[in-house]
Structure 1
Amino acid sequence: MIFKTHRLFVRKLILEDLVPFHELESNPLVLKYATGEVKSLQENEQELKELISRYKVSKNDFWIYAILRKQDHQFIGTVALVKDNIDDEIGYRLLEKFWKNGYGTEICEGLIMYCKTLKINKLVAYVADENRASTKILEKLNFKIVKKFISDDMNLPETKYELYL
């Protein structure tokens, strides 16, 4: 286990996560403000294997973990911590059936606490302006707007937020 919250826990991805991982990564609504690209089962299996292989890489800077509910150990999404030598970026994706249950806020709060234990000083997050749910979460958690721009990949208005820990 990487960290836990009141209702959730976070662990490394495993191959047994393929079915719910594929459900997550093949839902156009989940990906609407991310890549926007729905992938096949085979493509998602390859991506899952690649993400799992990164756990063994020394100086890995791209961590994607599984989010599970404590009550039934059901996979509900993924959470990310990406380091690029300048910023430590956080992100998350939840299966659509788990939206509007407060899990986004809860996982972000847990990730912030986890990052404090890693002695990370500042976190950033990038959110498409249309993604009001994620915008509200970041604002509630005291992230501040530092930049507005049009994203290169999605060509959408996007905002960069940061939080000093």
Structure 2
Amino acid sequence: MKFHIETERLILRELRLTDLEGMFELDSDPEVHRFLGNKPIKTKEESQIIIEKVLGQYEEYGIGRWAVIEKNTGTFMGWSGIKFNTDYNMNGFEQYYDVGYRLIKRFWGKGYATESGKAAVDYAFNILNLPELFATTEIGNQGSHNALLKIGLKYIDDFYFEEQQLNLRWYKIENK
């Protein structure tokens, strides 16, 4: 499945097996995983499994996270986009679409999460015609909290995610 969305500074496209090095840099960084349960990956094989899982989501659901590419340099920055969640119950929801992002640390604090997230919400509502999107952050992740609010999501409540033993915040945006 092919995706290609351009924003002012970014290209959002389907993840590819050739993104392996960038995905490993992203998910092996303990700082990136500080608010994700502190479980950074250790091997490139784990990165490949993650990419293959996303490729499977494209086939099964027609959507999955996208690679975030810096438009000026072609540099892999991380991922962003929409995911159809079916893996576990999250705050009472067993199947739902969420918007999310994860960026390599050197790209933090520059508005890329917000920029890519707004493009993802636009795609979800105007292309997929979804009625609503959700998102989560760990309670202490103020940067992600701020980005979700700038994207247009509304903070709903806090909850404890038993499966990964995380205290999370729950957000929602509705298609108007």
Counterpart CA distance in 2 for 1:163 and 1:156 is 22
Contact 2:17 2:52 in 1 (8 A): yes
CA distance in 1, matches of 2:115, 2:163: 28
Secondary structure of 2:32 counterpart: helix
Aligned-pair identity (%): 25
Query: What does residue range 39-50 of structure 1 map to in structure 2 within 5 Å?
Result: 39=41, 40-50=43-53
Query: What is residue 97 of structure 2 aligned with on the other side?
Result: 88
Mapping for residues 1-165 of structure 1, pairs under 5 Å: 1-39=3-41, 40-55=43-58, 57=59, 59-60=60-61, 63-84=64-85, 86-117=95-126, 118-165=128-175
State the distance in 2 between where 1:162 and 1:53 align: 26
Query: Between Structure 1 and Structure 2, how many residues are aligned?
Result: 163
- Give unmatched runs, 5+ long, in structure 1: none
How far is 1:62 from its partner? 5.9
User: 1:61·1:82 contact (CA, 8 Å) conserved in 2?
Assistant: no
Unaligned runs of 5+ in 2: 86-93
Structure 1 residues 62-92: Cα deviation after superposition (integer angstroms, max 9, x where no partner)? 6121010111111001114222474211111
Residue of structure 1 equivalent to 2:88 = none
Measure how far apart 1:140 and its partner are: 2.4
Q: Distance in 2 between matches of 1:86 and 1:50?
A: 17
Which residue identity lines up with residue 157 of structure 1 in the other structure? N
